[in-house]
Amino acid sequence: MPQSQTDAQARKAEVSNWAGNVTFSPEHIHRPASIPELQEIVAAASRARALGSGHSFNRIAVTTGDLIVVDRLPLVMDIDRPRMSVDVSAGTRYGELAAHLHRNGLALNNLGSLPHISVAGACATATHGSGNSNRALSDAVTSVTLVNADGELITWSEGDPDFAGATVSLGSLGIVTSLRLKLCPTFDVEQHVYNGLSWSALLAHFDSITASAYSVSIFSGFNEANRIWIKRRCGDPHDDLAYAAVRPARAPQHPLAGLPATNCTDQLGVAGPWHQRLPHFRTDFRPATGDELQSEYLLPKAHAVAALEALHRVRARFAPGLLICEIRTVAADECWLSPSYHRDSVAIHFTWRPDMSAVTPVLADVEDVLAPFDPRPHWGKLFTIGADRLRASYARWSDFERLIRTVDSGEKFRNDLINNCFSR
């Protein structure tokens, strides 16, 4: 096996995620510098998982076998203008890709709140932005190439059998090397923040608020001081949200009230390129306050108001540990394991104080409250929902289990999270 980027001192080294709440000690840590080197590493491994930017909050990347970090693979951002697509290497960060696309007059139709995350990791977990007409980031994928358990390169492309199962794969089919993403012409966006959204106005005007711009986020503490962040494509109709009785912010805001907005993307209606407005945070700044924990649940958008009312009734149970809740909308898609598979969704995101012992029981409380609305958790965030409930929620669950068994019959890419969710 090539040893050039397999550090002997890294054996049994402790690895942690970005938030610091997950630590583990893989047998080896590999940072291959080429695709052939990656193929040899994977073929020789008995157990393997990939690590991207480390922004997941659960144990999805954990392995006791070989951990493969893809950030040293050759950077690829090859644009095919006639096909309006780009081939991108797995470890590429969205911020880097977006700047390259914009320089070439092109864009992705949407981005998540952080530009710091890796493309492959975000797509594999169905990470999303916001907008009634905007699907999860994985919907942009038109082909995915990975190294399978035998060390061979295999590709699924749009139209192939099981393609919709390979896009959001949770790292369980192999080590992704590249993806092809569909593009659109570049566009400009204005970002406005509105303060003073009352709880009653949030509920009464929820559909109008979320339809008011290309991308909309509502930040809430389940109180009377809620805020709306709208990201309007320049040239689209302007909605001043007068019906919601809110006030436009007169200075830049941070999602957490009281924190400086230096690391946030430009607001106050200043027009700018899509990739400098759709994320909440700037590429060149650390995006958050430090350690934090996150969970998120997607449920049918038609149940949004009822679900928020149910959470509001029990807010005293989780308010002490809550930093902020972000409420977004996501359009239905075709990816088998996407939480927005075949249903327009509301995504209710919780940013928690960094105390796992306090957050874990609260997660169970929140999930019980949301249970009547069929919540699907974000695959890269904290949740306690069991396999039986997940299986009942996803129409193609058994198809994905079949796909895992077919592609990885030796269970090389499974870990505890995969085993706990999917039958063998």
Q: What is the pLDDT of residues 56-74, one digit of tens each?
A: 999 999 999 999 999 999 9
Could you give the 3-state DSSP secondary structure of residue 191?
A: strand
Residue 289 has pLDDT above 50, yes or no: no
Largest CA distance in the chain: 65
What share of the chain in percent tops pLDDT 90? Answer: 93
Assess whether pLDDT exceeds 80 at residue 7. no
User: Cα dist. 29→33, 65, 296 in Å?
Assistant: 13, 9, 30
- What is the rounded radius of gyration, in angstroms, for the C-alpha atoms of the chain? 21
Backbone angles phi and psi of 251, in degrees to 5: -145, 155
CATH number of 188-384: 3.30.70.2520
Q: State residue 390's pLDDT score.
A: 98
In the chain, CATH 3.30.43.10 sits at: 15-69
Q: What is the pTM of this model?
A: 0.96
CATH 3.30.465.10 in the chain, residues?
77-185+393-412
CA distances (Å), origin 173, targets 47, 128, 144, 214, 398: 12, 21, 11, 34, 15
Architecture per CATH, 15-69: 2-Layer Sandwich (3.30)
Q: Phi and psi at residue 195, in whole multiples of 5°?
A: -105, 165
Q: Please give the pLDDT value at position 4.
A: 43
DSSP 141-181: EEEEEEE-TTS-EEEEETTSTTHHHHSS-TT-S-EEEEEEE
Q: Tokens 């669950």 belong to which residue? A: 397
* Region for 159 from its dihedrals, namely left if φ exceeds 0, alpha if ψ lies in -120 to 50, beta otherwise: left
Write out the CATH class of domain 77-185+393-412.
alpha beta
Quick one: average pLDDT of 314-335? 97
* DSSP three-state, residue 193: strand
What is the C-alpha separation between 323 and 300, in angstroms, rounded? 24
Mean pLDDT of the chain: 95
Query: Residue 225 — very low, low, confident or very high, per pLDDT cuts 50/70/90?
Result: confident
Looking at the chain, which residues constitute the CATH 3.30.70.2520 domain(s)?
188-384
Output the six-digit token pair for 238.
């302007």
Give the pLDDT mean for 82-90: 99
